[in-house]
Structure 1
Amino acid sequence: MAPIITLTAATLLARLTGLLGFDALDDWQLCLRIGLAAMFALTGAVHFVPKFRDDMVRMIPERLPAPALLVAATGVLELAGAAGLLVPATATAAAVCLALLLVAMFPANYSAARRGVPLAGKPATPLGIRTAEQVLFIGLCVLAAL
Structure 2
Amino acid sequence: MAPFVALVVTTCIARALGAGVPSLSTLSSWSTATAVGVAAMFTLASTAHFRQPRRAGLVAIVPTGVPRPELAVTVTGVLEIVGALGVLVPATRTVAAVCLALLLVAMFPANVRAASGPVHPSAPTTPLALRTALQVVFITACVVAAT
Give the structure-1-normalised TM-score. 0.94
* C-alpha contact 1:45 1:79 (8 A) present in aligned 2: no
* C-alpha contact 1:56 1:119 (8 A) present in aligned 2: no
Q: Deviations over 1:102-137 (max 9, x none)?
A: 00000011111113346747x611011111111111
- How far residue 43 of structure 1 moved from its aligned partner, in angstroms, is 0.5
- How far residue 60 of structure 1 moved from its aligned partner, in angstroms, is 0.6
| Cα distance in structure 2, aligned partners of 1:86 and 1:27 | 14
Runs of 4+ deviating beyond 3 Å: 117-121
- How far residue 24 of structure 1 moved from its aligned partner, in angstroms, is 2.2
Greater alpha carbon shift after TM alignment, 53-62 vs 123-132? 123-132
Name stretches of at least 5 consecutive residues in structure 1 with no aligned partner.
none
Matched letter for residue 49 of structure 1 = R
Greater alpha carbon shift after TM alignment, 16-25 vs 130-139? 16-25
| Cα distance in structure 1, aligned partners of 2:99 and 2:135 | 14
Partner residue in 2 for 1:135: 136
| Cα distance in structure 2, aligned partners of 1:23 and 1:64 | 44
Query: How many residues end up aligned between the 2 structures?
Result: 145
Partner residue in 2 for 1:30: 32
Q: Where do residues 25-104 of structure 1 align in structure 2 (5 Å cutoff)? A: 25-104=27-106
| Cα distance in structure 1, aligned partners of 2:27 and 2:145 | 14
| Cα distance in structure 2, aligned partners of 1:11 and 1:119 | 32
- Higher relative contact order by CA 8 Å / sep ≥ 6: 1 or 2? 2
Matched letter for residue 64 of structure 1 = V
Q: Percent identity?
A: 50
Q: Deviations over 1:67-103 (max 9, x none)?
A: 0000000000000000000001000000000000000
| Cα distance in structure 2, aligned partners of 1:54 and 1:27 | 39
* C-alpha contact 1:52 1:119 (8 A) present in aligned 2: no
* C-alpha contact 1:46 1:52 (8 A) present in aligned 2: yes
Give the structure-2-normalised TM-score. 0.93
Structure 1's 93 and 111: CA in aligned 2 closer, same or farther, altered over 3 A? same
Greater alpha carbon shift after TM alignment, 12-21 vs 81-90? 12-21
Partner residue in 2 for 1:14: 14
* C-alpha contact 2:60 2:120 (8 A) present in aligned 1: no
Name stretches of at least 5 consecutive residues in structure 2 with no aligned partner.
none
